[in-house]
Amino acid sequence: MKFSIQVSEGPYNHESSVTAINFVKAAVEAGHDIFRVFFYHDGVNNGTNYATPPQDDMNIQKTWSELAAAHDIDLVVCVAAAQRRGIVDEGEMTRNKKDGMNIMDGFRISGLGQLIEAGIESDRLVVFGD
Amino acid sequence: MSDAKKFMYINRKAPYGTIYAWESLEVVLIGAAFDQEVSLAFVDDGVYQLMKGQDTTEVGIKNFSPTYAALGDYDVNKIYIEKESLEARGLTLDDLQHLVWEDEDEDWAEKDSIRVVTSAELAEIFEQQDITLSF
Amino acid sequence: MSILHTVNKSTYERDTLEACVRLAAKGGSVLLIEDGVYSAMSGGNKSSVIENAKDLSFYVLGPDIKARGLGEDRLIDGIKVVDYKGFVELTVSNDSVTAWL
C-alpha cells in the first residue's frame, strides 16, 4: 500500500515527529511504500541541518535523512511554512538573499500542492501533529 | 471528475492563539486548484475561526478572516459547522460570517455555503471521505 | 467505510478524545498515541469517556504506554495494545485515518 505522512510539529518540542519516524519504519518493514512525507507548520524544523542535539539523544533530522536515503522517501518541506521559520535551500537562499542555507540532505522545499498531490496519489494519508 | 477524491479539512482550533487556522486555510486555497471534492468542518474551538467582526489591528497579526468569504469563488462551498460545538459556546449562526457561493448550473444563483449539522450527521459525512486533513 | 481515529492528548487536559468519540461513527477504531495513552487508564474520573463508548474499538500504542511507566494491567478492560507494526496494520484494515489534533 502507498502511504503519505504529514508532520505538523517541530522535532524535540513534540513527540509527533518521532511517532511519524517510528510509523514510517514500521510501514517500510511491512513492505509498504512511503510516497511522501510532508512537513508543515513547525514541522518544517525537521528539515534543518543546523541542529546539534546531545549525543545521547536521538538526532531526529538526521534520522529522517537516513530513512529517506535508505528507502527512497520524498521528504518535502512546505515553502510557505519554511519561509516563515527560516528553513532555506539554495533556491530560497538566492531568491531571498540569505547568507546561507540549512536544508538537511534528503529534504526539498516545495509548495503546498505537494501535500494535496500526496493525498491524491496515496492510499492512506496519516497526519501527526499537536 | 469521477476520479476526484473527497478531501475533508477538520478545523478544531481557534484563530490567532496558534497559526493552525491560518495555515489550514492556506492549504484549502492551494488545494482548490486540484479539482477534488473539498469539504471543511469546523468543530470545537474551530467555530471561532468564522466569527464576524475580527479586528487584529491592535495585536498586529494578519487578520485572515476575510479570506473565508472568498472560498466560494474557489468552489469550496461545503462548509459544515457542528451544531453541538456552536451551542456549547453560546453561539448561533448569526455570530458567524455569512458565506455564499454562486451556482453556475442555476444561473449563478447565490447559495449558502455553511451547513449546520449535528454530531451524528457530521460523523456520517466523515465516513464518506477519502482523505482527512486535521488542523 | 471505516475510520481509524488517532488521539494524542490526555483526556485529563484536553477534550480531544471527547470530540473524537462524539464525532466517530459506530464501528470505528480509536488508537490512543503519545499523551493520548493516559486516557486508557482505568480507575480515573475520565475513564468513563472510553467505558461509555461501546460502539467503538479502542487501541493503545504499547511503546507510548511503556515510555510513561504505565502498566498494561491498568488499562480499561477491552483496550487492545498494539506496537507500531499494529498501528500500520490498523491504517491498512480501515479505509482512512483521521487524526484528532
Q: Domains for chain B: give ranges and CATH numbers.
A: 6-134 (3.40.1260.10)
B8-33 burial, b at 16+ Cβ within 10 Å, e below that, comes to bbbbbbbbbeebbbbbbbbbbebbbe
C-alpha distance from residue C77 to each of B4, B42, C46, C59 (Å): 41, 33, 14, 11
Helix (H) or strand (E) holding C97: strand C96-100
Q: What is the interface size between A and B, counted as CB pairs within 8 Å?
A: 48
Could you tell me which residues come within 8 angstroms of residue C48 by beta carbon, excluding any fewer than 6 positions away?
none
Looking up cell 522517501, which residue turns up? A73
Q: Domains for chain A: give ranges and CATH numbers.
A: 2-128 (3.40.1260.10)
Helix (H) or strand (E) holding B125: helix B119-127
C-alpha distance from residue C22 to each of A15, B21, C3 (Å): 25, 22, 14
Average pLDDT over residues B74-90: 97
C58, C76 contact by CB (below 8 A): yes
pLDDT of A109 strictly over 80: yes
Q: Which CATH number fits domain C3-100: 1.10.3720.10, 3.40.1260.10, 3.10.20.30, 3.10.180.10?
A: 3.40.1260.10
Return the closest-CA partner of residue B64 out of B7, B103, B13, B26: B26
**High-pLDDT (> 90) share of chain A, %:** 100
Angle (deg, nearest 10), helices C84-93 and A16-29: 70
Angle (deg, nearest 10), helices A60-71 and A16-29: 20
Every domain of chain C and the residues it spans? 3-100
Q: Considering only CB atoms, which chain C residues are within 8 Å of B130? A: 96
- Tens digit of each residue's pLDDT (9 = 90 or more) over C60-82: 999 999 999 999 999 999 999 99
pLDDT of B119 strictly over 80: yes
Average pLDDT, chain B: 96
Please report, in angstroms and rounded to a whole number, the separation of the first and last CA atoms in chain A: 26
Q: Considering only CB atoms, which chain B residues are within 8 Å of C24? A: 123, 126
Helix (H) or strand (E) holding B83: helix B83-88
Q: What is the pLDDT of residue B1?
A: 45
- ipTM topping 0.95: yes
Average pLDDT over residues B65-94: 97
pLDDT of A57 strictly over 50: yes
pLDDT-based confidence at B3, cuts 50/70/90? confident
Sequence letter at residue C100? W
Catalytic residue numbers of A read: 78
* Contact: A120, B20; criterion CB under 8 Å: no
* Contact: B30, A125; criterion CB under 8 Å: no
